[in-house]
Amino acid sequence: MDRGDWQGAGLYDPDAPGAADRLALLEHLAAEGVTLEEMIDAEARGALQTAYGDKVLRGDRTLTAVALADDLGVPLTHVQRLWMALGLPVDDVLLPADAVSMTALLLDASKMFGEDAILGFSRVMAGAAAQVAEAAVALFLGEVQPRLDSEHATELARAVANEQAIASFGFVGDVLGMLIREHAVLAVRRSRAARGQDPSAPQELEVAVCFVDLVGSTAWAQQRTLRDQAVALARFETAAWEEAVLHDGRLVKLIGDEAMIIATSAVDAVAIAAAVCDRVGADGGLPPARAAVGFGTVLFRDGDYFGPLVNTVARAVKAGAPYEVMVTAAVRDVLRRTRSAEVGELTEHQLRGIDEPVLLAPLLR
């Protein structure tokens, strides 16, 4: 493969501006084993600079879904259903060789836990993997790409930066393996504490639910660039994450300007809510926060929590003033009994989407 091949394929024009930079990129890709056909395909997708990085990510793919099903001795529909749950295309694409062992593991697991349960668990794993992958891409685009733009980097420099970033993320799999094990220890502990001595309803847990949201975030966002919003919201997420960890809770999810946190005790959940509000209040770049905490029975499924209590607390957070933590009657009783915090009197609140008035009290602090 030489200049003539690249010129004939429309990849290189010796008279075009930046011809020397393009030639350097093509020579680099060729040295890394990228074929002419792969270069042409990448150029058509506007991805010539990342052609080698993309090739490393994809790896060797020669396996079809039909061959995978035949190899495992299962109906093709079983494979399709499982890969759909994993969020991955399976029809009309070539699969990596390790797809066989991965599919076999999940099919074996379905014999123990049931197919529907494993499909649901597969969706949880896929969601977590997608979030990690999106975060990795966002990290490159947010931190490395602007630097390359400011330096007016050449095509070759951009390609090398992309390849180095891909190589640097090789540690992610090992780190995730360790984190899953350690978080499993914490999850088992929380589950035992929440479930108590009654294993008859394994998906019904007694937990404290906390919601924290940012007051006036819509007006606040209109005065800032998208990047400034993202950086500030990352600090909000950090505060929610760290306070949950410090008080034996878990940040379940962050939806824009709102965080959902669970803890095994009402006292811990209130401590988390107050601490997050305080940290946000001390952050000059964020609008004030408010929170609500409830305690009771929830339905636990696929790593998330559901039920009337969750709905009530999600609505109750809107009843508070900036910096205020509102608690339900059950939480108020716990706080007064344990003398862990001062709390005001209960008053009725008509919450959106809740038919009956809900009794809420403010945390006094």
pLDDT 10s digits, 242-257? 999 888 888 998 888 9
Whether the predicted pLDDT of 238 surpasses 80: yes
Q: Is the dihedral of CA 326, 328, 329, 330 positive or negative?
A: negative
- 242 assigned to some structural domain: yes
Statement to judge: residues 220 and 357 lie in one domain: yes
**Is 123 in the same domain as 217?**
no
Residue 26 counted as domain residue: no
Is residue 49, in this structure, part of any structural domain at all? no
| Residue 216 shares a structural domain with residue 306 | yes
- Does 360 lie in the same domain as 227? yes
257 shares its domain with 122: no
pLDDT of res. 125: 87
For residue 132, what pLDDT is reported? Answer: 85
Residue whose tokens read 């410090």: 246
Instruction: Quote the number of domains for the chain.
Output: 2
Average pLDDT over residues 313-326: 95
Predicted local distance difference test score (pLDDT) of residue 134: 80
Task: State the residue range of the domain holding 359.
Answer: 200-364
144 backbone dihedrals φ, ψ, rounded to 5°:
-90, -45
Task: Give yes or no: residues 208 and 351 share one domain.
Answer: yes
Q: What's the confidence (pLDDT) of residue 194?
A: 59
> Average of pLDDT values for 212-224?
92
Determine, yes or no, domain membership for 278: yes
| Same domain, yes or no: 230 and 310 | yes
| Residue 93 · residue 67 · CB < 8 Å | no
H or E element in which residue 305 lies: strand 304-306
Asked which of 95, 126, 152 is the last residue of a domain, the reply is 152
* Residue 66 near residue 90, CB atoms below 8 Å: no
**pLDDT tens figures, 59-112:** 888 899 999 999 999 999 999 889 988 888 887 888 988 899 999 999 999 998
3-state helix, strand, coil split of the chain in percent (to 5) is 60, 15, 25
pTM above 0.85, yes or no: no
Q: Indicate if 91 and 205 belong to the same structural domain.
A: no
**Rounded CA gap, 267 and 239, in Å?**
18
Q: Mark whether 205 and 148 lie in a shared domain.
A: no
**Residue 195: pLDDT band by 50, 70, 90 thresholds?**
low
| In-domain check, residue 167 | no
Does residue 2 fall inside a structural domain? no
Is the residue at 255 inside a domain?
Answer: yes
Strands 289-301 and 325-328, bridge-based pairing? parallel
**Are residues 125 and 252 located together in one domain of the fold?**
no
| Whether residue 145 sits in one domain with residue 210 | no
Same domain membership, residue 214 and residue 111: no
Are the C-beta atoms of 305 and 298 separated by less than 8 Å?
yes
Interaxial angle between packed helices 99-113 and 65-72, expressed in degrees from 0 to 180 and rounded to the nearest 10: 50
- The CATH number for 204's domain is 3.30.70.1230
Dump pLDDT digits (tens) for 169-178.
Answer: 878 888 888 8
The answer to whether position 69 is within a domain reads: yes
Give the CA diameter of the chain: 83
